[in-house]
Amino acid sequence: MVKWREGYHLRLDPDVRRRRRESLGSFIRECRSRLGLSQTELADRMRVNRTTINRIEQGEMAPRDADRLESFAAALNMSSGERIELFKRAGYVVEIPGEPQIVEELRHNRNALFAMSRQAHSVYNEARATNDYTDYHEILRVVALATAGVSDPALQMLNAQTWRDIADGHQIQRNLLQAEVAYRRAEETAQTADPKGRYAEGILFDPEFEAVRGQSVVARLRDDLDEAVRLSDKALYIARQRPEIPRGFLYSLRRDRLTLDTERGDLRNLDGEVRELLEYAESTGHRLGVALVKSAAGGALMEQGRLSRAERILQEALEEAQGQRLIPMYQAMIVREICRLYERLGDKGQLQRYLKLAIDLSDQVGLSEERRKLKKLFGRHLQRIGLQ
């Protein structure tokens, strides 16, 4: 039995497993054709080879797990009914849980639901440290299920906030399609929720702001930097107009905007922006923020050709991260920037040293996305030192 994000349980039916490939392939082909997508375009959305899509549609192979099927559903913009049909054709029997006592009990217990939401956020830090979000998502899925379709305005908004938190977890893991689906669910839920619940019980969820922020994150994950910047600026504008949105959200948006500017090569306001962000991070004791701002600034300085200053500030960022024992994921991001610097400086000794550190940090918590970036940026160097 497999738990599904829609709140259903899935059970593989051995009697239809033999026939599922052709039926599933034809259904995926129909949905793709309806959207006017080519196999190559669907493959790009799924981040797989076109050959894989072709073999699935021809019935030569089939996705084996619920997460992969859900990724197809997201890539093909399937409705809830189409998603259920997709799972049925894959050989699953889609059932409403037979024993939903815990969900029913929670549905009528507002205090317990908010307590579970707070518990999820306490689990979040551990999840980031290990890159294992299983428990985090499991708690949030229960909250999402128990708050679905309720009439209480606060619980309606809690449902939207829960889907936003699920999306953020996927975004950190760079699970693009899952993040996009969850952000969309958050937006849809918030649009139908009673606005009276917007800031009840400590909920920090502004529907318009969260919708734009989510779209910006998805655009960035898709490497559409211009659209990400446009949406990020819109989210910043909304946040500045609404004092009830915490200042920390503004800080995170501005920090992400700095990174986007660096990636786009737009460094006109670099020094002032870095100074303001560092002042805020220092004033709040946000050590992770200090390290990440310095890392982004170092990358920007590199693009400006100010390599000596870039080296100094990147080393400060790494010392900050190591001194505070920040999780390997963030240390790996900083070390990647240091590797870029030493490649530009032509210092092969330092480059090899930090490449080994970057690989070690990535492998500690299974950061396959970070590994992919390192291979793309430094493939020949990794091959030379036997780390390909």
Predicted pLDDT of residue 269: 67
Domain ranges of the chain: 2-95, 99-242, 246-323, 327-388
The answer to whether 292 touches 258, Cβ cutoff 8 Å, is: no
Q: 0.85 exceeded by the pTM?
A: no
The answer to whether 167 touches 183, Cβ cutoff 8 Å, is: yes
From CA 162, how far away is CA 120, in angstroms rounded?
10
Mean confidence (pLDDT) of the chain: 77
**Superfamily holding 2-95:** lambda repressor-like DNA-binding domains (1.10.260.40)
Tokens 């669907």 map to which residue? 42
The answer to whether 38 touches 31, Cβ cutoff 8 Å, is: no
The answer to whether 155 touches 110, Cβ cutoff 8 Å, is: yes
The SS3 of residue 3 is strand
DSSP character string of 225-269: HHHHHHHHHHHHHHHHH-TTS-HHHHHHHHHHHHHHHHHHT--TT
- The CATH number of 99-242, from 1.20.120, 2.40.10, 2.40.128, 1.25.40, is 1.25.40
Predicted pLDDT of residue 4: 46
From CA 131, how far away is CA 318, in angstroms rounded?
20
Predicted pLDDT of residue 3: 46
Q: Which residues of the chain have pLDDT under 70?
A: 1-20, 64, 79-81, 92-104, 125-132, 173-175, 196-204, 265-270, 280-281, 284-286, 324-327, 364-370, 385-388
From CA 101, how far away is CA 112, in angstroms rounded?
14
Predicted pLDDT of residue 2: 45
